[in-house]
Amino acid sequence: MRASSPTVKEVLKEASLTLQNQKEAAILLAHYLGRERLWLMTHDTERVENPEDYFALIQRRKDHEPIEYITGSVSFYGETFHIAPGALIPRPETELLIDRTKAIIEAEHICDIAEIGTGSGIISVMLARLFPYIHITATDINPRALQIARINAERFGVSDKIDFVHTSYLEGINRKFDMIISNPPYIAEGFALEQPLSYEPQDALFGGKEGDEMLREIITIAISRDVSFLACEMGYDQKAPLESFMKAKGIREYDFYQDYSGFDRGFTAKVKE
| Stretch (H or E) spanning 136 | strand 135-140
Return all residues near 60 (Cβ < 8 A) that are at least 6 apart: 70
Residue-level pLDDT at 206: 73
How many Cα atoms are found within 13 Å in the side-chain-facing hemisphere of 211?
A: 15
Residue-level pLDDT at 198: 76
Residue-level pLDDT at 272: 83
- For 212-260, what is each residue's pLDDT tens digit? 999 999 999 999 999 999 999 999 999 999 999 999 999 999 999 999 9
pLDDT band for position 1 (cuts 50, 70, 90): very low
- For 121-158, what is each residue's pLDDT tens digit? 999 999 999 999 999 999 999 999 999 999 999 999 99
Residue-level pLDDT at 192: 64
Which domains occur in the chain, in start order? 8-63 (no CATH), 86-270 (3.40.50.150)
SS3 breakdown of the chain: % helix, strand, coil, rounded to 5?
A: 45, 20, 40
3-class DSSP state for residue 234?
coil
Give the rounded percent of residues in the chain with a pLDDT score beyond 70: 96
Please report, for residues 55, 62, 98, the alpha-carbon distance to residue 66 in angstroms, rounded to integers and kept in the order given. 15, 10, 24
Residue-level pLDDT at 195: 66
Residue 73, exposed/middle/buried by CB under 10 A (0-12, 13-18, 19+)?
A: middle
Residue-level pLDDT at 231: 98
Give the rounded percent of residues in the chain with a pLDDT score beyond 90: 87
Return all residues near 6 (Cβ < 8 A) that are at least 6 apart: 14, 47, 48, 51
pLDDT band for position 189 (cuts 50, 70, 90): confident
